[in-house]
Structure 1
Amino acid sequence: NKTLSGTFSDIGLMDGAYEVSITGPDSQMTITSTSHFGNTNHQVIVTAVREPAVLPSVHGALYISTDTLNVKLQGNLEIDGNDRNIDDSPGSEPAVPGIAVDDPGDSAYVINTLKPKIANNIEGLGGDPSVNTVVDNTDWDEVTQNLIFSQDTSLGSGTYAAGTVLGTFANPIITYVEGDVHFSSTATGSGIMIINGNVTMSGQFTYYGMLIVYGKSSIETTFVGNGGIYGSTVIVGSNVDFKSTGTTGIYYSSQAISNAQVNLKSSRFEILSWWE
């Protein structure tokens, strides 16, 4: 519980009891534990600070890391590495690639498969089509496991439609999805979403923050409809199959990323002092 505070008394333990008091903000928490066993009392006072949730570096509006890549882009897809705010006004940060990949061969493959209409809609650093090779040393297993440890909510396989709210811009959350998932209709979310499985997004599904789709084997990601991702989208897997139709937008937004970084809480603490 990331908002746990107060005093918890008369907690039984063996033949004794103890109470715990948690006070203060995340930047300076004080945890006091007082135990009573027979005629012996013992107290421990710890001060701690909650560690922030750590987001990985942003390499592009869409970043794909894989050994085998298959891309099929159709419709009026727009992938834009030019910074924009969530209200679609221009952002203040420098542009990043529209699509970023690890290997020059993947970059050439993506460019060669783009139809002229789609190529003009892949914008960002370097001009259209903005498809760049980047150097990434991220340990994605470590990144995803740390974020999963700090999750605020979790979902299983299934379809999530109208009425699904996975965080708001004012109150972003960390969402973990285990299994194949379909977000449709007017489902929305904000913060960080980690998906271990295939994902389909349709209708007007809109997300603000960072979307990470990962797996050790094949990943199929399909964007249809006219929704949008504001922030950054990351797809990591041995085999990645990325498809898009409709008028989907994948936009780099430093505003959405910064909002997630500032407001999300991890479940880890740094101990500042210990007295007993």
Structure 2
Amino acid sequence: MSDTVYSLKTRAEFSASRKELIALEWLCQICHTEDPDMLPWPKEVPECLFFFGSENDEIIAALGLYRLDPDSCEIKMMTSPEHRRRGLFSAMIDELYSHPEYNDTNFFFCVRPDDRITRLAVESLNPEKLADSFRMDLNLPAPQKFMSVPTDYEVPPLFMTVSREEPSQLFYQFALNGPVIVPDAAFCRADLTPQGTGACFFNFEVRPKLRGKHLGETALRMVLRDLASRHVDHLWLHVEEDAEAAVNLYKKTGFRVTETLSMYLF
């Protein structure tokens, strides 16, 4: 493995190289020809980092990773079929841990249940098998088509603020009965795609003491209306299969299960 060169690049750095773009497209093509059940490369995630393994100026393995929260990342990995069974996946994970910003990071890896090739490669590293998760998707209507939903319950007034830490990341915070200083009711995050018309939804949480009071549905509908006003027309998320309350909440606001995924933790 001594002749393998590793490089970690931001999307902007990677996109500036037409040669690397073409090489990655070719790697995607041959990997999906060999393994059609493999999850697609995360082109739609704006803050994704790219980690490459190259030999003789040829990309033979690629790993995409993006932050779920300060302590964890989701990763996707591709290895050229002719270079498999060489321990590249394990070597790239070890190399990532050598970077200071990742040495205490939890890495999550999603696999389609029918993707035997990827599943065996992941399981060979003895990760922790977690509960299966759902991918859920929602096509958003235009903002003027959002209607208030009649309810037979009362919800206290919620105040929402939206902030950005990165140009493509929206952070939503909610407070009761006044402007948000501390998000005492709920919070979540949405990462916009490079085109700005799609978003991945993360970390939606209602404070424990306020659960069961319909605040989650109200807050989520406020987020959806705001995203629609920003011309986002498609939204997706991952949620644990056994998180029944969360799954029901997302279904109530229009999300539908589109895929079941196996989840592993490194």
Question: With structure 2 as the length reference, what TM-score do the two structures score?
Answer: 0.25
Larger helix proportion, structure 1 or 2? 2
Larger strand proportion, structure 1 or 2? 1
Report the structure number with the largest CA radius of gyration. Answer: 1
Question: With structure 1 as the length reference, what TM-score do the two structures score?
Answer: 0.24
